[in-house]
Chain A
Amino acid sequence: MDTLPPGASGDDAAPLSPADLRELYSLMAAVRHLDTSAIAWQRQGIIPGYAPEAGQEAAQVGSGYAVDRTRDFVFPTYREMGVARTLGVDMVAYMSTHKAIWHGGLYDPLESRLAPIQAVVAGSVLHAVGWAHGQTLSRPAGASTEHTTGVALAYFGDGASSQGDVHEAMNFAAVMKAPVVFFVQNNGWAISVPTERQVAGGSVAARAAGYGMPALQIDGDDVVAVVDATRRAFAHARQGNGPVLVEAMTYRRGPHSTSDDPGRYRSLDEEREGAGEDPLERFRQRLLADGIADEEFFAGALAAARAEEEQIRAGLQALTPRPGAEMFDLVFQETTPALQAQAASWRKESEHV
C-alpha cells in the first residue's frame, strides 16, 4: 500500500550514495552483532534480561537513518536498540536499562534525541504527537515550514496498535496536522499472538485511511526501501502536511524476550518459513551484485562490530549501580519535605552512607 502523494522532498530525499549504502550495512552488522551478544550476555548473567530484535535490523537502521538529529525526535519502545545505535546513542548508557541500572537508560534523551526507553506498549506514541504539535506551535507565524520543522518518529508494534492510545494519537495528529511519522514494525507477533489475531482490518496501514492520513506498507527487510519510505514520510510531515503512517513488514526471529519460550507457540520450521530471507544477508548480496562492496569490506564491518561489542560489554561490566540517593533526588525538580525525610531515614538506616 502506498497512499503517500509524491512531492518535493528536499533534504529528506537525497539519493543514497555508495558510501551511504556501505554505512547502512556497517550499522546493520553492528546491530546484529550486538543483539546476538546481548542474548549471550543474558545467558552469562551479565544482564538480567533483553528484548532481541534479530531480523528487524533493516527496519530499525533504515528508519533511524532518516532522522535529522539536529531537529527531529525519536520515541522508542523497549526493542529499538538498532534505532539507538543508528542515532549514535552511547550504547553502554542504552544497555544500562537491560542491566537494570536505571529505567529509561542512562543516556541523555535531549542530546541523543531519543526519548527514554519504556515498557508500556504505545505509551509514547501520544508523546510523539505532543512533541510534534510543539514544533507547530513554535513555528513563527508565516514562516516557511521547510528546513525548520522537527518531525517526531514514533515506534510501535503490531500488538501495540491495538491500544486505545494509538488510535487517539493518530486522530489527534491528523486533526492537528502534527509532523509525526508513525513507524510500525509489524514483526508478525505480539509475544505469542500472531498479527492475524491482533490486527483487524487487514493491516495497521489500512487504518490510516480512517484518519485521512497517508500510509505506506513496505518491505521492512529491505533497508533501502525503509530509508526511502521513511524519508518520504519525513518530507511530507516536515512540509506541514500532517502525519504519515509507515508499516514495515518484518519478522521477529527467536524469542520475544530472553524469558520467552517461542517453542510454545511456533515451531522452528514455522519460524524459518515465516522469517524469509535474512535482511543482512540479502543486503550483502545486493551490495556485492551492484559492486558497491567486496568481501574485504564485509570482513572489515564484522571486525568493527566485534571490537565495538567488546567495548560495550566492558563498559557495561564496569557499570556500577547508581548511588541510592538518586532514588530520592530524581523524583521531582523541586523535592518535598516528605521525600527529604524519607531520604534522611534511608541514609541513617542503610549501610550506603
Chain B
Amino acid sequence: MSSFTLESGTVDTPAASTVLSMQQALNRALDEVLADNPKAVIFGEDCGRLGGVFRITDGLQAKHGEQRVSDTPLAESGILGLSVGLAMAGFHPIPEVQFDGFAYPAINQIVCQIARMNYRSRGRLPMPITLRVPSFGGIRAPEHHGESLEALFAHVPGLKVVSPSDPHEAYHLLKYAAARPDPVIFLEPKSRYWQKGDVAPEHGGPPTGAKVMRPGRHLTLVAWGAMVARCLQVADLAAEDGIDVEVLDLRWLKPIDAEALAASVRKTRRAVVVHEAPLTSGLGAEVAQLITQGCFDTLKAPVERVTGFDVPYPSGDLEDEYIPNIDRILFGIQRVLEYRRG
C-alpha cells in the first residue's frame, strides 16, 4: 500500500506562467485530465452542453464527446451512486454537484457507499472519484448555495478533502486529485472563480500538505479556500502596523498537514484559524488541537478561531456579517497578541 505523504510547500515564483481565472484554471485541468486519462469521465447537472452553471466544464463536451462529458438527470444521489458503479467498472468519475447544499441529498451515497467501498471490498473496489463541489458563500446566492461542508466530509472515514485558494492551486490540486485512487471531495471556493492569478503549469510544487502563502514572524493565520485571499489582505494591513503575519493555506482538510501547522506555529508562537463554516465542531477545532499538540510548550496564547456563526447560512444581505471579515480577523489577531497568562 502506498502512502499519501504530506509535503508542505512555500510560495514559488512561477516560471512560464499564464494569467488565468480559477474557472479557467479548473477548466484547463479537467481538459488535460480527459486528454491524459481515457478512463476519466465528467458528468453532472448541466455539465455537458452548458459547461456547468459556473462554466467549469465549458467546451469539454464539444472537445471530448458526449460519452466523456455528459448531462445527467437532476438527482444528486443518482449522480454519486452512478459514480460508484462507474468506478467499479474501471472508470475515474469526476462528478459535479452543482452547489454545496445539494450534496446533502447525496450524503447517503457519499458516506455509506463511496467512502466505504474500498474497505468493504478489502481494497478490490477502489473508488477513484473526484467530487467537485462549488462551495462556500460570498456570492449573494439563494439558500443552500453557500454551505461549508468541509468538517462534515473530513469527519467521514474513507474520504479525502481538499480546497484550492487561487488559480495556480486550483489547477495543480485538481490534476493531482483526479489522479488519486481514493475518493477526494474537491471544494471549489465559488467566490474566487473569477479572480485571476498566475498559473505555472510546469511548476506546481508538492500538491499535498499545506503551503505557506506568505511567511511572517509574529503569528500564523491558518485558512483554506476563499479565506486565504482574505487573510493575505489582512496580513498586508497588519504589516502597516508592524505586525508580521504568516499565512498558511491548509489546502488539504483531510489529511491535515499537522507538521506544517506545527512548523509554522513553533516559529510564530501564535495562531488564528479562519473559516466560513459555523464555529461549533468546525474544522478550526481540529486545527487548534493539532497546533496545541505540536506546539504546547511554545504557544504564547490559546489558538483563536474566527469563523462563521452557528446559524443557517444567511441570505445575501447578511452574508458580510456572517463570513469572517477583515475587522473580525484583525480582532482575532489582537486577541492572540494581547493575551496575558491569568
- Please list the residues of chain A having a beta carbon within 8 angstroms of any beta carbon in chain B: 73, 102-104, 106, 108-110, 115-116, 118, 120, 123-135, 137-138, 152, 164-165, 168-169, 171-172, 175, 326, 329-340
Q: Which residue of A lies closest to B126 (CB)?
A: A333
Smallest CB separation, A124 vs chain B (Å)? 8
- Please list the residues of chain B having a beta carbon within 8 angstroms of any beta carbon in chain A: 1-6, 41, 67, 72-73, 75, 77-78, 80-91, 93, 108-109, 112-113, 116-126, 128, 157-158, 160, 180-182, 254-256, 258
The interface centre, meaning the residue of B73, B122, B182 with most chain A CB atoms within 10 A of its CB, is: B122
Smallest CB separation, A103 vs chain B (Å)? 6
Q: How far is the CA of A127 from the CA of B109 in the complex (A)?
A: 10
Assuming A172-B72, A332-B4, A336-B255, is B85 touching A131 (CB within 8 A)?
yes
23 contacts between A and B (CB under 8 A): A103-B119, A103-B120, A104-B122, A123-B109, A127-B113, A129-B82, A130-B87, A132-B85, A133-B89, A134-B88, A134-B90, A137-B41, A138-B89, A165-B81, A168-B75, A172-B73, A329-B1, A331-B158, A332-B158, A333-B126, A335-B1, A335-B4, A336-B160
Residues in B whose Cβ lies below 8 Å from that of A126:
77-78, 80-82, 84-85, 109
The 8 Å CB contact of B3, one of A73, A172, A334, is: A334
Residues in A whose Cβ lies below 8 Å from that of B88:
73, 115, 127, 130-131, 134
Let me know if A133 and B82 touch, CB within 8 A: yes
Let me know if A334 and B180 touch, CB within 8 A: yes
Q: How far is the CA of A327 from the CA of B113 in the complex (A)?
A: 17
The 8 Å CB contact of A131, one of B73, B86, B181, B182, is: B86
Q: How far is the CA of A207 from the CA of B88 in the complex (A)?
A: 28
Assuming A168-B77, A331-B157, is B91 touching A116 (CB within 8 A)?
no
Let me know if B109 and A330 touch, CB within 8 A: no
Smallest CB separation, B306 vs chain A (Å)? 25
The interface centre, meaning the residue of A104, A169, A334 with most chain B CB atoms within 10 A of its CB, is: A334
Let me know if A336 and B4 touch, CB within 8 A: yes
The 8 Å CB contact of A334, one of B4, B86, B89, B90, is: B4
Q: How far is the CA of A332 from the CA of B128 in the complex (A)?
A: 10
Residues in B whose Cβ lies below 8 Å from that of A103:
116, 119-120
Assuming A130-B86, A333-B126, A334-B4, is B91 touching A169 (CB within 8 A)?
no
* Closest CB pairs A-B (n = 6): A130-B85, A126-B81, A134-B89, A104-B120, A168-B78, A333-B181
Let me know if B78 and A127 touch, CB within 8 A: no
Q: Which residue of B lies closest to A108 (CB)?
A: B124
Known: A108-B124, A333-B180, A336-B254. 14 other contacts (CB 8 A): A73-B88, A123-B112, A123-B113, A129-B82, A130-B84, A165-B109, A172-B72, A172-B75, A330-B122, A332-B182, A333-B128, A335-B3, A335-B4, A337-B255
Residues in A whose Cβ lies below 8 Å from that of B83:
130
The 8 Å CB contact of B125, one of A110, A175, A329, is: A110
Q: How far is the CA of A109 from the CA of B88 in the complex (A)?
A: 10
Residues in B whose Cβ lies below 8 Å from that of A133:
82, 85-86, 89
Q: How far is the CA of A315 from the CA of B119 in the complex (A)?
A: 23
The 8 Å CB contact of B78, one of A73, A116, A128, A165, is: A165
Assuming A333-B1, A334-B4, is B82 touching A130 (CB within 8 A)?
yes
Q: Which residue of A lies closest to B75 (CB)?
A: A168
Q: How far is the CA of A120 from the CA of B80 in the complex (A)?
A: 15
Assuming A332-B182, A335-B3, A338-B256, is B124 touching A168 (CB within 8 A)?
no
Assuming A109-B121, A115-B88, A137-B91, is B5 touching A337 (CB within 8 A)?
yes
Q: How far is the CA of A15 from the CA of B72 in the complex (A)?
A: 39
Q: How far is the CA of A338 from the CA of B124 in the complex (A)?
A: 23
Smallest CB separation, B235 vs chain A (Å)? 28
Residues in A whose Cβ lies below 8 Å from that of B109:
123, 126, 165
Let me know if A118 and B120 touch, CB within 8 A: yes
Q: How far is the CA of A39 from the CA of B311 in the complex (A)?
A: 50
Q: How far is the CA of A137 from the CA of B121 in the complex (A)?
A: 24
Q: Which residue of A lies closest to B256 (CB)?
A: A338
Let me know if B75 and A171 touch, CB within 8 A: yes
Q: Which residue of B lies closest to A170 (CB)?
A: B78
Residues in A whose Cβ lies below 8 Å from that of B117:
116
Let me know if A134 and B256 touch, CB within 8 A: no
